[in-house]
Structure 1
Amino acid sequence: MRLDKFLAESGIGTRKDVRTYIKDGMVKVNGKVIIKPAIDIEENRDIILYLDKVVKHIGKVYYMFHKPKGCITARRDESQKTVLDYFSKENMKGIFHVGRLDKDTEGLLLLTNDGEFEHGLMCPNKHVHKKYYFCALGSLDENDIKKLEEGVLIGKGKILTKPAKIKVEKIGTCEDFQEHMGIEKFSKKDLGLYRQPVVSGYLTISEGRKHQVKRMLKAVGCFVVYLKRVSIGNVFLDETLEKGEYRFLTDSEVQMLSMM
């Protein structure tokens, strides 16, 4: 096994982090300082030291996390709560998030210490499908749905999105979507806003552009007020997980995602 891979899978840091540690002379193999990250080691025989402490090999780990609103997708931040703040110190060693979810977006987020697994899911050529549940101010007619499914222009750069799948679930007003919209922030005296049309549904995309779902719906006149990722590929969010909770992926879930 490569030395940098061994250290990353042992919770020392990301592959990028540990390469720096190795080059800076912080790692020893059998008592000798090694500065080449790609050197092969025998993980069950060689003694690996990081800052003169023995490193134990944890192995590859894969987590499903139910991300709540209000936290950012990052390992650490000085001023804001991150997704890793929900993990125990033992379980957060060496793991990183696979892709991102906006601060105000809930739902399925994967975390791992397996760089190849992360690359396989994030590579644009893989076209991994991600499904989102949304509530948005506005309405969607057949023409809007057709545009979303065929691709819409988003942003100032006029980027054309790849074809998507959309299913309208419910049509109503702000009053009908109190659970998701936090209706208390609207004044009930403003009946025009309180009774504004709202549409909910599922949008499935195969890209990962910044704020893509929000930008796509905005392109057809809808303003997203609630967004939740419900699946990646054929793996769905475990709804028994409360917001902020996580669990190991099952072997079958890892296999399905690895085959994407």
Structure 2
Amino acid sequence: MRLDRYLASVTDYSRNDAKKLIKLGDIYVDGRVVCDPKQLIAADADVTLMGNPLRPLGPRYLMLNKPQGIICAARDRRHSTVLDLLDEDNPERLHVVGRLDIDTTGLVLLTDDGGWSHAITSPQRRCWKTYYVETAEVIPERCIEHFARGVFLKDDKARTLPAELTIIEDRSARLKICEGRYHQVKRMFGAEGNAVTRLHREAIGYIHLDTDLAEGEYRALSTDEVASVFE
């Protein structure tokens, strides 16, 4: 890899800023100063910036407890994004695995590992997502059967895939779905003549939102949590 590209990939410097630093003689490769941004370096090269060793970032896997009013996007002119909540190097390299609406709270996963995120979002994998739901009207028992059979959503040609609904109280329930259609949970209850007043994602697959995380906080996933995606 070219030295300027390597430097930009492991720091917050842009490619132009990286070139300037290299030309100033602040970069050492395997103990020798290198002033040519085009210099090719080996993957295992020992690179230092002003004496500080630089290492490529490994894959990152994060869970975040998303508050209301935050959007799942890289940037937005009107609202704060989930990336704004992160204290990470190169946060722009991370992407959201399964977005949530601006008014939906709970578990959001972020990673820079495309293969890992695909294993979660691929329709063929049918990864279950668990939501806590509160509604404006009483949830009738018939919804359990309707959701298990699949419901037709407005403008969609096919029924939703079978879902698992557990009624907790008159106006609250836990719903597990294995697909991710646009506003799916809200539209499923809407098809039953009900409106969702609160929606909170509790789990994606075997990864459950850490109850110790306050809204807006995040942490790295454990090795077991990362591996659970492929189970």
TM-score (norm 2): 0.79
Asked if residue 224 in structure 1 is aligned to residue 200 in structure 2, the reply is: no
TM-aligned CA deviation for residue 161 of structure 1: 0.2
Percent identity between the aligned chains?
A: 38
Structure 1 pair 220–63 and aligned structure 2 pair: CA distance change class (3 A)? same
Counterpart residue number, 1:107: 106
Change (3 A) 1:8 1:202: farther
Deviations 1:84-104 (A, max 9, x none): 111125362521111200000
Could you say if the C-alpha distance between residues 114 and 248 of structure 1 is closer, same or farther in structure 2, counting changes exceeding 3 Å?
same
Alignment of 1:51-66 (within 5 A): 56-66=55-65
CA contact 1:154–1:219 (8 Å) conserved in 2: yes
Contact 1:9–1:60 (CA<8 Å) still a contact in 2? no
Q: 8 Å contact 1:166–1:202 — kept in the other structure?
A: yes
Equivalent of 2:183, from 211, 228, 232?
211
Describe the shift of the 1:9–1:91 C-alpha distance in structure 2 as closer, same or farther (beyond 3 A): closer
> Do the aligned partners of residues 216 and 43 (structure 1) sit closer, same or farther apart at CA in structure 2, a change above 3 Å counting?
same
How do 1:108-187 residues align onto structure 2 when only pairs under 5 Å count?
A: 108-171=107-170
SS in 1 for 2:118: helix
Instruction: Give the distance between the partners of 1:121 and 1:95, measured in 2 at CA.
Output: 15
Report how many residues are paired.
209
* Structure 2 CA distance for aligned equivalents of residues 115 and 226 of structure 1: 31
> What residue is the counterpart of 1:245 in the other structure?
217
Change (3 A) 1:125 1:146: same
- Contact kept, 8 Å, 2:97 with 2:108, in 1: the verdict is yes
Residues 192-213 of structure 1, C-alpha deviations (whole Å, 9 max, x = no match): xxxxxxx101000000111000
Contact kept, 8 Å, 1:167 with 1:202, in 2: the verdict is yes
Q: Is the deviation greater in 83-92 or in 248-257?
A: 83-92
Name the aligned partner's letter for residue 139 of structure 1. Answer: V
Contact in 1 for aligned 2:74/2:92 (Cα 8 Å): no
Task: Name the CA distance, whole Å, in 2 between partners of 1:228 and 1:7.
Answer: 40
Q: Tell me, which stretches of 5 or more residues in structure 1 are unaligned?
A: 13-20, 22-29, 35-40, 48-53, 172-198
2:97 aligned partner, one-letter code: V
Q: C-alpha displacement at 1:78, in angstroms?
A: 1.6
Q: After superposition, where does 1:21-60 map in structure 2 within 5 Å?
A: 42-45=42-45, 56-60=55-59
After TM superposition, the structure 1 = structure 2 runs for residues 188-199 of structure 1, keeping only pairs within 5 Å, are 199=171
Secondary structure of the structure 2 residue equivalent to 1:43: coil
Is the 1:96–1:113 contact (alpha carbons within 8 Å) kept by the matching residues of 2? Answer: yes
Deviation at 1:221, TM superposition (A): 1.5
Partner AA of 1:232 in structure 2? I
**Alpha-carbon separation, structure 2, partners of 1:251 and 1:240:** 18
CA distance in 1, matches of 2:44, 2:66: 36
The alignment status of 1:254 with 2:226, answered yes or no, reads yes
Task: Give the Å deviation of 1:130.
Answer: 0.2
Asked if structure 2 preserves the Cα contact closer than 8 Å seen for 1:11 and 1:93, the reply is: no
Whether the 8 Å CA contact 1:75–1:96 is kept in 2: the answer is: yes
**Pair 1:8–1:225, CA change in 2 (3 A):** farther
Runs of 4+ in 1 over 4 A off after TM superposition: 6-12, 30-34
Q: Which runs of 5+ in 2 are unaligned?
A: 16-33, 48-52
SS in 1 for 2:115: helix
> Which position in structure 2 is the counterpart of 1:235?
207
Contact 1:10 1:94 in 2 (8 A): no
Q: Which residue of 2 aligns with 1:98?
A: 97
Partner Cα distance (1:46, 1:165) in 2: 53
Whole-Å separation in 2 of the counterparts to 1:33 and 1:245: 40
